[in-house]
Amino acid sequence: MSLLKRLPRGRTLGVAGAVGALVAGGLILAPMVNASAASGCRVAYTTNQWPGGFTANIAITNLGDPISAWTLGWTFGDAGQKVGQGWSATYTQSGTAVTAKSLDYNGNLGTGGSTSIGFNGTWTGANPNPATFTLNGVACTGSVGTPPPTTASPSPSRSVSPSPSRSVSPSPSTPPPPQGTTPLAINGQLHVCGVNLCNQYNKAIQLRGMSTHGIQWFASCLNNASLDVLANDWKADLLRIAMYVQEQGYETNPSGFTAQVNNYVDMAEARGMYAIIDFHTLTPGDPNYNLDRAKTFFASVAQRNANKKNVIYEIANEPNGVSWQGIKSYAETVIPVIRAADPDAVVIVGTRGWSSLGVSDGSNESEIVNNPVNATNIMYTFHFYAASHKDDYRAVVARAARSLPLFVTEFGSVTYTGGGTVDLASTGTWLDLLDQNKISYANWTYSDANESSAAFKSGTCAAGSYANANSLSESGTYLRNRIRTADNFPTS
């Protein structure tokens, strides 16, 4: 439905001079907006454009009384303009009318407070930028107005105007300084910003950590002692929880595997680490084969973990033998299930050809760039195995990283079989590339599987000596040294 139809008394989005009127129907009304509240806003909209595409960056400044949630509205000058992948807001477009709604972490804007959002879009025909914006239904004219007190009875406690907070308070949209030193305490709720992963201070960060092996096989490597070592000795930021769906995994005991995953989420959280919930589809490669299981599983884990800040959802490990259109369709079915329960978590979408951005199927990232998943706050998966995948794959990642938010949720220092040669030279070249682009990663595997990708020597988990250097494999020794180097988590 067009938002324009919801506006009262024939007002249209973006008409200057309608300062202060509230929008009926609850659609645009923010909780703290009050009939007598001063309102006003300024918007700076800048674009980079090229034939057919553009990136828009939007800086919003609230000039009125503090608000706790906002909806920015505007009207494109040409029907050919379309919002694609966006960040830091939830975007809805109907015809030329667009709204961008705040997320949990950036809804609070004090007087003078500002926040930045943006999106990648496509265009045909003319590409005039929108000239006028509304914030919570009020035109952004760059000045402050106080509406007449007729739209609702004024609250006695607010009869003195202007509010004292208007001139003094700093923006409450900036979270307080971190209360702890763990990756989770510093970074808080994550979100996607442009092509990066951003922390609660809206700064781009890189998370580095380990993936479990299949939790149906290597639970003996996942306990309080081993995760203490991962958090404190390896200084990992991230634990990826690989829950296979087939191969004696989830499909054999849905409630049992769901509980096991939730338990690992809690164990990671208790140690200040992020947790990727990996729906580890592998064979069959079409994620739609597991669509009903995915909907059941993600509805459950998203509801259970909605209030946690450490959870990232990975909806399909390695799609293979399936088109990008098939993956996109799966994603656009599963993501709304997650969002319904946990609206602000980052979701990672697998890519074609075993999450190679299509390269292993003879394609590349352009199939995604030209036809992105219709959802916000998402990233795309890239996997590599350093002894098998080298410069040609690296060239694609270096290029794709400029237009897609990427997350390396799994990689090996070995061949794609999970075994064979440990290629530390190629691994180092890969990790340098990921570091330069702040691409987060998890290494396969934090286990003692009898294969060269495992970080621990075969059979050592039972002994429990996770911190003993003699327990580590060649790959584990290298990855520990890489992961434990200092993080760069900006807070201002």
Residues identified as active-site: 318, 410
Least distance from ligand IDC to the Cβ atom of residue 393, Å: 12
Of the candidates 57, 72, 59, 61, the one whose C-alpha atom is nearest the C-alpha of residue 138 is: 72
Least distance from ligand IDC to the Cβ atom of residue 383, Å: 6
Nearer to ligand IDC, 45 or 289 (CB): 289
Of the candidates 92, 88, 288, 110, the one whose C-alpha atom is nearest the C-alpha of residue 196 is: 88
Nearer to ligand IDC, 279 or 478 (CB): 279
Cβ 216 vs Cβ 247: under 8 Å: yes
Least distance from ligand IDC to the Cβ atom of residue 23, Å: 48
Cβ 119 vs Cβ 83: under 8 Å: yes
Cβ 236 vs Cβ 200: under 8 Å: no
Residue 8 identity (one-letter amino acid): P
Task: Identify each DSSP E strand in 231-390 by its residue range.
Answer: 238-244, 274-280, 311-314, 347-349, 378-385
Read off the DSSP letter of residue 394: H
Q: Which residues of 280-310 are buried (b: 16+ CB within 10 A; e: fewer)?
A: bbbeebbbbbbeebbeebbebbbebbeebbb
97-101 and 71-75 strand pairing: antiparallel
Task: Identify each DSSP E strand in 355-439 by its residue range.
Answer: 378-385, 406-412
**C-alpha distance from residue 127 to each of 16, 54, 75, 117, 121 (Å):** 21, 10, 12, 20, 11
Nearer to ligand IDC, 216 or 376 (CB): 216
**Which stretches of the chain bind ligand IDC, using CB under 6 A?**
247, 282, 317-318, 354, 383, 385, 410, 416-418, 444, 449, 451, 453
Half-sphere exposure of 76 (CA within 13 A, CB side): 22
Place of tokens 């990283």: 401
Nearer to ligand IDC, 87 or 444 (CB): 444
Least distance from ligand IDC to the Cβ atom of residue 386, Å: 11
Nearer to ligand IDC, 308 or 383 (CB): 383
Least distance from ligand IDC to the Cβ atom of residue 297, Å: 17
Closest-by-Cβ residue to ligand IDC is 418
Least distance from ligand IDC to the Cβ atom of residue 410, Å: 5
Does residue 20 sit in helix, strand or coil? coil
Side by side, the strands of the sheet bearing 82-87 are 41-50, 53-62, 114-122, 82-87
Nearer to ligand IDC, 56 or 386 (CB): 386
Nearer to ligand IDC, 187 or 356 (CB): 356
Cβ 294 vs Cβ 279: under 8 Å: yes
Nearer to ligand IDC, 297 or 489 (CB): 297
Of the candidates 443, 451, 462, 448, the one whose C-alpha atom is nearest the C-alpha of residue 421 is: 451
Side by side, the strands of the sheet bearing 138-139 are 90-94, 97-101, 71-75, 133-135, 138-139
